[in-house]
A and B are shown apart, each in its own frame.
Chain A
Amino acid sequence: MQEKPGIGQYLYQTFASMKLSVFIFLTLAACSLVGTLLPQGITEHELHTRYTPGVARLIEYLGLNDLYHTGWFRFLLLLLALNLTICTIQRLPKTMKQLKQRDDRMTPEKLAKFAHNRQIDSPLPLDEVESRLAAIVSSELGPIRKLEDSEAYVGVVETGRWSRWMVYMVHLSVLLILIGALMGSMLGFKGYMNIAEGGVSQEVRLYRGDASITLPFKVRCDDFDVSFYDTGAPKEYRSELTILDNDRAVLSRPIIVNDPLSYGGVTLYQSSYGAILKQAEVELQDKDSGKTHRLILPYGETQAIPGTTDKVQIVDYQQNMSQFGPAVGIALFREGREPAGSWILVKMPQFHGNRIENYKVNVLKAEDGYYTGLQVKKDPGVWVVYAGFIAMLIGIGMTYYTSHRKLWIWAGPIKSGRNSTRIMLAGRTNKNPIAFENDFNRLSERLQNDLTSKSSKG
């Protein structure tokens, strides 16, 4: 009585099928393709200005603006991993059985059914045939393993047995890469930090989500430099960094684009830079009192204007604002009032906008410098991914260059005319049948020549 397969059995069979693998490959390819056509990682605002409300809602609903991190894309990757695992569980025992089965009993009738086979009748006696066969075959392929047989000489030669394992090696490598990626996303982080020259920072802004992380150490940027070729193209970005652990300098080293710095599992990469104002000398002319104040304002520090309760602070800087040259953003804080502020154009002291409330403001000297943009990453999964990479290359490389070839030899006495021994050769390969056929035919020719002539050439 045929039992109806249960749902579990059905699912297992589906996951073990190669059709599903091909389907997942092509689906992943198609979904990845969609992600390259739509802009990724754009803000909600950009999304709504670019697309009509309906399209924007659809994109948001399916997560197409951040496709590679959506649940359903990860689900596809999970399906791939499941498919791989189940295929392996199902096929591995078969491969092991196939490789264990060393003593296949072969008769000349069975061998004649092989895709590659050759029959040679020789006038030589069986023991002479045996020794000549052994000499030639071992010189071409390797030692012959003799099988027990009462009437005839039966032997097997195998090469590249382990090439059967290579497909599992490739599958394992894909699993390793996926596991490594998962470890990275669960146990690691990726973000950036901008540090002004001379500045110290410990906060990393994360790329994903609106969050930041405090590093267990501090990073100081001692210097930043950018150099250019004669053509104007950038040549090198270089940051001199110092790591402060418990406020003690423990590591000091320059980093450039292809040469990051690692400390405590966290790696710092040179990724961008920008101009920043270190400090400015500012003249504030109080129109009410007629007094003029000169202040040195370090970037971002609040300072009181002498003789008043007013405080000022440089809050922003642009190297070239709307083609008017450098501009310093200054804020004025006055007790009981909303803060006021304005952009002060450095190169245009007469500009009517160079004032805040009752002050006419001039920037006498702007000392600018750079800030360095560092990408900061911690990824404990990266070594697992790399192990996967290596396994994949070995696996695919060996799959290409090796095949499992097996040659059966049977020789037994016959009585037909002047011939006294019949030899049957048969071969099988798991890959590259055309090359195998050539090799098989060449070996057969050689044996034919040798075994049908009286004198041995060996």
Chain B
Amino acid sequence: MNSSILLSTTTFAYMVCALFYISGLTFRYRPLLVSGGFVGLGALLVQTAGILLRWKESYALGYGHAPLSNLYESLVFAAWAIMLIYLLFEFRTKQRTLGVFPSLFAFLAMAYASFSPQIDSKIQPLVPALKSNWLIAHVIACFLGYAAFAVAAGVSILYLVRKSSTANPHPKGIPGLIPEPRQLDEFNYQLILFGFLWLSLGIITGSVWANSAWGSYWSWDPKETWSLITWLVYAAVLHTRSVQGWRGKRVAWLSLMGFACVLFTYFGVNFLLSGLHSYGTQ
């Protein structure tokens, strides 16, 4: 048994999970959605074991670091964080249809990590800059934020779908199972506020770390700048909503715009711009 077998199983399981959610929503059949939740939970547990095992394996190789150091490991962790936050959310709200996008995102992240020829899944040693306890806090905080924003983006898409079909007084097909728009709007807001907290913590831990590692808590590195852009967009979302009474569609679109910034911060900066975080490309 090694971590790559467990993580391959996870990839497959997330695909099954996403298929359950999608077919549950399409056929409006609740047991399929419930199965999606159970498969998702099972996959999350297998993935947790896989991540822990990979951590242990890195010690066996003599490198000894948390599996959060390159693009492969961060994608795996992103999938893990998305499913963790989503399942907690499903458990608390008892809303099962919202799993469609999170499970799909988790599957895509895992599939991309496993099958892209550009991504090396080998355990690599840590470069000196990353040798710090801040690494774990920084990466976990950032990815919990990203994951909450991913779930919020999924809710926003469903909101827009739901909203566009409520013009019809007798909703048929998909919208029937999806929660009320008012509820979706509230979920979106709650998830964004939650993500905002973690993103702030992620930026702050990164900043404190940078100050202790190379003497500058802010140096306008592209990754830093893009995380600030993301932060500003979500700050705008929170303000438009809570003060001007902007609700609904516009907030859903802004949430999607924020998530686009997240994706660019994560992938775009690594591939298109260069900077301190360039180890993320390997």
Contacts and interface: CB of A to CB of B under 8 A. Distances in A.
B115 interface: no
Contacts of B239: 18, 21-22, 25
Given A18-B243, A18-B244, A36-B269, A396 B200 contact: yes
Contact of A393 (B127, B201, B214, B225): B201
A62 interface: no
Interface residues of A, number: 49
Nearest to A375: B215
Contact of A234 (B128, B225, B228): B128
14 contacts: A18-B239, A29-B233, A29-B236, A36-B273, A236-B128, A260-B212, A377-B216, A393-B197, A396-B200, A397-B197, A400-B193, A432-B186, A433-B186, A434-B182
Interface string B236-259: 100110011000000000000000
A237 B240 contact: no
B202 to A, nearest CB: 11
A231 interface: yes
Contacts of A28: 232
B267 interface: no
B194 interface: yes
Contacts of A271: 214-215
Contacts of B233: 25-26, 29
A271 B210 CA distance: 12
Contacts of B55: none
B204 A392 contact: yes
Interface of A: 18-19, 21-22, 25-26, 28-29, 32-33, 35-37, 40, 68, 181, 190, 229, 231, 233-237, 256-260, 267, 269, 271, 375-377, 379, 382, 385-386, 389, 392-393, 396-397, 399-400, 432-434
A26 B128 contact: no
A396 B204 CA distance: 13
B125 A375 contact: no
A33 B244 contact: no
A96 to B, nearest CB: 18
B217 interface: yes
B99 to A, nearest CB: 19
Interface of B: 63, 124-125, 127-129, 131-132, 134, 182-183, 186, 190, 193-194, 196-197, 200-201, 204, 207-208, 211-218, 220, 222, 225-226, 228-229, 232-233, 235-236, 239-240, 243-244, 261, 269, 273
Given A19-B244, A36-B222, A257 B213 contact: yes
Contact of A257 (B131, B216, B225): B131
Contacts of B235: 25
B182 to A, nearest CB: 8
B213 A432 contact: no
A22 B236 contact: yes
A238 B70 CA distance: 24
Contacts of B186: 432-434
Contact of B225 (A18, A25, A35, A258): A35
Given A236-B128, A258-B212, A400-B194, 10 more contacts: A18-B244, A25-B236, A25-B239, A33-B229, A36-B225, A234-B128, A257-B128, A257-B213, A393-B200, A432-B190
A256 B128 contact: yes
Given A19-B244, A40-B220, A234-B128, A382 B194 contact: no
Nearest to A399: B193
User: Interface residues of B: mostly helix, strand, loop or mixed?
Assistant: helix
Q: Pick the most buried of A37, A235, A258: most chain B CB atoms within 10 A of its CB.
A: A258
A280 B208 CA distance: 44
Q: Pick the most buried of B208, B211, B218: most chain A CB atoms within 10 A of its CB.
A: B211
Contact of B214 (A21, A236, A269, A432): A269
B124 A231 contact: yes
B264 to A, nearest CB: 9
Contacts of B229: 29, 32-33
Contacts of A389: 204, 207-208
A308 B156 CA distance: 85
A292 B48 CA distance: 73
Contact of B215 (A21, A236, A267): A267
Nearest to B195: A400
A187 B239 CA distance: 34
A229 B126 CA distance: 9
B102 to A, nearest CB: 20
A35 B220 contact: yes
Nearest to B233: A29
